[in-house]
Copies of this chain bind each other. A is one copy, B any other.
Amino acid sequence: MAGSKYAYVRNFELPDPLLPRTFMVLRLDGHSFHRFSDEHDFTKPNDIRALKLMDHAAKDLMEQYPDVVLAFGESDEFSFLIRKSASLYNRRQSKIVSTLTSLFTSSYVFRWATYFPDRPLKYPPSFDGRLVLYPGAQEIRDYFSWRQTDTHINNLYNTTFWALVQQGGETTTQAHTTLKGTVSKEKNEILFSRFHINYNTLDAQFRKGSILVREEISEEPVPDTSTTADTSTENDTTTSPASSLPKMRGRTKPRTKVVVLHCDIIKDKFWDARPEILSS
């Protein structure tokens, strides 16, 4: 064949299989999103439209990849848990990282106008992805606890910081100085005493981040009002049917759907109610 004398170059492509029977966590982070959020006038400290857009992109990803059994998002990052037994793309690292990062990015741009109808995208945003293996269930619990703790710490800081600036009239430099060295209790106190803000009543999405899991759908085609006791006030009921996505081989079975929660994932309750997430 004409090209055969060059085909040897394929031999330089080396295999990159991931260790079998280990959990995979793929974490995506917005690339230069400080600038991106400025250019697109995101609301401070949290832009609910931007967060819902992230959630939607994550949901699209979970609907195409049934091996993804849990996702957690905050700010411009999202973590996806791929189950231990997954044989997705024969567990090839580059294939998994690149394809899932690509799909998330694509969905983010595709759905931008739905969440920002009056603010056109100025330029194409990008995300980086990294995949980390964890051998055991405890490490997965700790990974997600780490991310949700981070959400809390960042959100408390940012909420107080922007209250000082937006309502307190401080410059950003002054606000940083005011907060330097303060512990959580002191930030809560500043919020409450100076701005009459009770942190614990803020939108759960800001305090807890977004948790995406699959839930079974009851057979009767009733309106979607599924809520679970522990998350009743924190459910996001905009469960997209994702009807715009192509049907794919191996896609999630029709009797489950992806739901967005904003509940605690550090304590046992969340995990005890969903033993399938960590089972093999």
Q: Does A52 reach chain B (CB closer than 8 Å)?
A: no
Contact check, B31 vs A99: say whether CB atoms are below 8 A apart: yes
| Oligomer copy total | 4
Q: Does A130 reach chain B (CB closer than 8 Å)?
A: yes
A39 to chain B, nearest CB (A): 7
Contact check, B142 vs A6: say whether CB atoms are below 8 A apart: yes
**CB-nearest residue of chain B relative to A3?**
B149
Q: For residue A132, which residues in chain B have a CB less than 8 angstroms away from its CB?
A: 9, 12-14
Contact check, B9 vs A134: say whether CB atoms are below 8 A apart: yes
The answer for the CA separation of A103 and B123 in the assembled complex, in Å, is 10
Q: A107-B124, A246-B32 are in contact. Are A19 and B14 (CB under 8 A)?
A: yes
The listed residue (B2, B12, B97) touching A134 by CB distance below 8 A is B12
Q: How many residues on chain A are close to B (CB under 8 Å)? A: 72
Contact digits for A232-258, partner B, Cβ 8 Å, 1 yes 0 no: 000000000000111010000000000
Contact digits for A15-32, partner B, Cβ 8 Å, 1 yes 0 no: 101011110000010011
Q: For residue A13, which residues in chain B have a CB less than 8 angstroms away from its CB?
A: 130, 132
Q: Does A152 reach chain B (CB closer than 8 Å)?
A: yes
A137 to chain B, nearest CB (A): 10
**CB-nearest residue of chain B relative to A245?**
B123
Contact check, A130 vs B95: say whether CB atoms are below 8 A apart: yes
Q: Does A35 reach chain B (CB closer than 8 Å)?
A: yes
**CB-nearest residue of chain B relative to A98?**
B129
Contact check, A126 vs B102: say whether CB atoms are below 8 A apart: yes
Beyond the given pairs A31-B102, A94-B94, 18 more chain A to chain B contacts, judged by CB atoms under 8 angstroms and listed by A's residue number, are A2-B149, A2-B152, A2-B184, A12-B134, A14-B17, A15-B17, A19-B135, A22-B22, A28-B98, A31-B103, A32-B246, A32-B248, A95-B130, A101-B101, A106-B109, A106-B126, A110-B123, A111-B124
